[in-house]
A and B are shown apart, each in its own frame.
Chain A
Amino acid sequence: MKTAMELNNRYNDDKVNDACGLFGMMDLSGRRFGAEEPVKAIANMHERSNGLGGGFAAYGIYPEFRNDYALHVMYLNQESKEKSEAIISNNFDVLRSEKIPVDYSAHVIRPPLMWRYFVHPKQNLLSTLTSDDFVVEQVMRINMETCGAYVFSSGKNMGVFKGVGFPEDIAAFFRLNDYEGYMWICHGRFPTNTPGWWGGAHPFNILDWTVVHNGELSSYGINRRYLEMFNYNCTMQTDTEVLAYTLDLLRRKQGIPLSVVTKILAPPLWEEIADMNPTQKRLYTTLRMSYGSLLMNGPFSIIAAHQGEMMGLTDRIKLRPLTAATLDNMLFLSSEESAIRLVAPVLDRVWSPLGGEPVVGRLKSDTERIEVIAH
Chain B
Amino acid sequence: MKSFLESEFTVVRDEERCIRCKVCVNQCAYETHCYDAEDDRILSKDENCVNCHRCVIFCPTHAIRIEQNVTGYTQNSNWSREAIVALKKQAEYGGILITGMGCDKPNFTYWDRLLLDASQVTNPSIDPLREPMEIKTFLGSKPDRIELEEVDDDVVLQTKLSPQLVCEAPILFSALSYGAVSFNVHTALAKAATEFGTYMNTGEGGLDERLYKYGDHIIVQVASGRFGVHPGYLDVGAAVEIKIGQGAKPGIGGHLPGEKVTEDISRTRMIPVGTDALSPAPQHDIYSIEDLRQLIYALKEATDYTKPISVKIAAVHNSAAIASGMVRAGADIIAIDGVRGATGSAPKVIRDNVGIPIELALASVDQRLRDEGIRNHASVIVAGGIKSSADVIKAIALGADAVYVGTAALVAMGCTLCQKCHTGKCPWGIATSDPWLTKRLNPDIATRRLTNLLRAWSLEIKEMMGGMGINAVESLRGNRMRLRGVGLTDTELKILGVKMAGD
B260 interface contact, C-beta 8 A: no
8 additional contacts, CB 8 Å, given A259-B155, A269-B132, A317-B131? A215-B123, A216-B469, A254-B145, A269-B134, A270-B136, A282-B157, A290-B161, A292-B477
Q: Give A322 to B144 CA distance when docked, in angstroms.
A: 32
Q: Give A143 to B142 CA distance when docked, in angstroms.
A: 33
Q: Which residues of A contact B148 (CB under 8 A)?
A: 255-257, 260
A297 interface contact, C-beta 8 A: yes
Q: Which of A260, A271, A288, A297 contacts B155 (CB 8 A)?
A: A260
Q: Which of B122, B136, B471, B478 contacts A225 (CB 8 A)?
A: B478
Closest partner residue, chain A, to B132 (CB atom):
A269
Which of A12-20, A38-46, A98-106 binds B? A12-20
Q: Give A287 to B124 CA distance when docked, in angstroms.
A: 26
Q: Which residues of A contact B145 (CB under 8 A)?
A: 254, 290
B123 in contact with A229 (CB, 8 Å): no
Given contacts A215-B123, A286-B161, whether A222 and B475 have CB atoms under 8 Å apart is yes
> Please, what's the 1-or-0 string for A207-227, where 1 marks a CB less than 8 Å from any CB in chain B?
000000001101111100110
A289 interface contact, C-beta 8 A: yes
Interface residue ranges of B463-500 to A (CB < 8 Å)? 468-472, 474-482, 499
Q: Give A292 to B156 CA distance when docked, in angstroms.
A: 20
Given contacts A257-B148, A269-B132, A286-B146, whether A218 and B478 have CB atoms under 8 Å apart is no
Q: Which residues of B contact A267 (CB under 8 A)?
A: 472
> Please, what's the 1-or-0 string for A255-287, where 1 marks a CB less than 8 Å from any CB in chain B?
111011000000101110000000100110011
Q: Which residues of A contact B479 (CB under 8 A)?
A: 219-222, 225
A30 interface contact, C-beta 8 A: no
Q: Give A84 to B388 CA distance when docked, in angstroms.
A: 54
Q: Give A288 to B138 CA distance when docked, in angstroms.
A: 10
A289 in contact with B470 (CB, 8 Å): no
B65 interface contact, C-beta 8 A: no
Q: Give A279 to B134 CA distance when docked, in angstroms.
A: 22
Q: Which residues of B contact A12 (CB under 8 A)?
A: 503
Q: Which of B134, B136, B476 contacts A222 (CB 8 A)?
A: B476
B474 in contact with A290 (CB, 8 Å): no
**Shortest Cβ gap from A281 to chain B (Å):** 10
A229 in contact with B482 (CB, 8 Å): no
Does more than half of chain B's interface fall in helix, strand or loop, or is it mixed? loop
Q: Which of B146, B370, B469, B481 contacts A228 (CB 8 A)?
A: B370
Chain B residues near A (Cβ < 8 Å) = 119, 122-124, 126, 131-132, 134, 136, 138, 142-146, 148, 150, 155-157, 159, 161, 164, 370, 373, 375-376, 468-472, 474-482, 499, 503
B477 in contact with A222 (CB, 8 Å): yes
B469 in contact with A297 (CB, 8 Å): yes
**Shortest Cβ gap from A278 to chain B (Å):** 11
- Between A and B, 7 residue pairs with Cβ closer than 8 Å are A219-B479, A222-B477, A230-B144, A255-B148, A290-B142, A297-B470, A299-B469
> Please, what's the 1-or-0 string for A160-178, where 1 marks a CB less than 8 Å from any CB in chain B?
0000000000000000000
Q: Give A289 to B157 CA distance when docked, in angstroms.
A: 13
Q: Which residues of A contact B122 (CB under 8 A)?
A: 17, 19, 192, 216
Q: Which of B157, B468, B503 contacts A283 (CB 8 A)?
A: B157
Q: Which of A19, A282, A293 contacts B478 (CB 8 A)?
A: A293
Q: Give A222 to B473 CA distance when docked, in angstroms.
A: 11
Q: Which of A269, A299, A316, A317 contacts B123 (CB 8 A)?
A: A299
Q: Give A216 to B122 CA distance when docked, in angstroms.
A: 7
Q: Which residues of A contact B499 (CB under 8 A)?
A: 14
Total A-B pairs, Cβ < 8 A = 117
Closest partner residue, chain A, to B157 (CB atom):
A283
A195 interface contact, C-beta 8 A: no
A317 in contact with B126 (CB, 8 Å): yes
Q: Give A220 to B138 CA distance when docked, in angstroms.
A: 21
Q: Give A295 to B475 CA distance when docked, in angstroms.
A: 6
Q: Which residues of B contact A283 (CB under 8 A)?
A: 155, 157
**Shortest Cβ gap from B289 to chain A (Å):** 22
B475 in contact with A297 (CB, 8 Å): yes
**Shortest Cβ gap from B127 to chain A (Å):** 11
Q: Which residues of B contact A256 (CB under 8 A)?
A: 146, 148
Q: Give A221 to B482 CA distance when docked, in angstroms.
A: 8
Q: Which residues of B contact A19 (CB under 8 A)?
A: 122
Q: Give A229 to B146 CA distance when docked, in angstroms.
A: 16
Q: Give A316 to B133 CA distance when docked, in angstroms.
A: 12
Q: Which residues of A contact B138 (CB under 8 A)?
A: 289
**Shortest Cβ gap from A264 to chain B (Å):** 10
B478 in contact with A221 (CB, 8 Å): yes
A293 in contact with B471 (CB, 8 Å): no
A290 in contact with B123 (CB, 8 Å): no
Q: Give A293 to B119 CA distance when docked, in angstroms.
A: 20
**Shortest Cβ gap from B140 to chain A (Å):** 8
A1 interface contact, C-beta 8 A: no
Q: Give A279 to B373 CA distance when docked, in angstroms.
A: 30
| Most chain B CB neighbours (cut-off 10 Å) among A229, A291, A319 | A229
Closest partner residue, chain B, to A18 (CB atom):
B122
Q: Which of B119, B373, B470 contacts A219 (CB 8 A)?
A: B470
Q: Which residues of A contact B123 (CB under 8 A)?
A: 215-216, 218, 298-299, 319
B132 in contact with A271 (CB, 8 Å): yes
Q: Which residues of B contact A229 (CB under 8 A)?
A: 370, 373, 375-376
Q: Which residues of A contact B126 (CB under 8 A)?
A: 317
**Shortest Cβ gap from B124 to chain A (Å):** 6
Q: Give A220 to B480 CA distance when docked, in angstroms.
A: 10
B142 in contact with A15 (CB, 8 Å): no
**Shortest Cβ gap from B464 to chain A (Å):** 12
Q: Which residues of B contact A292 (CB under 8 A)?
A: 472, 474-475, 477
Q: Which residues of B contact A15 (CB under 8 A)?
A: 481
A297 in contact with B481 (CB, 8 Å): no
Q: Which residues of A contact B161 (CB under 8 A)?
A: 286, 289-290
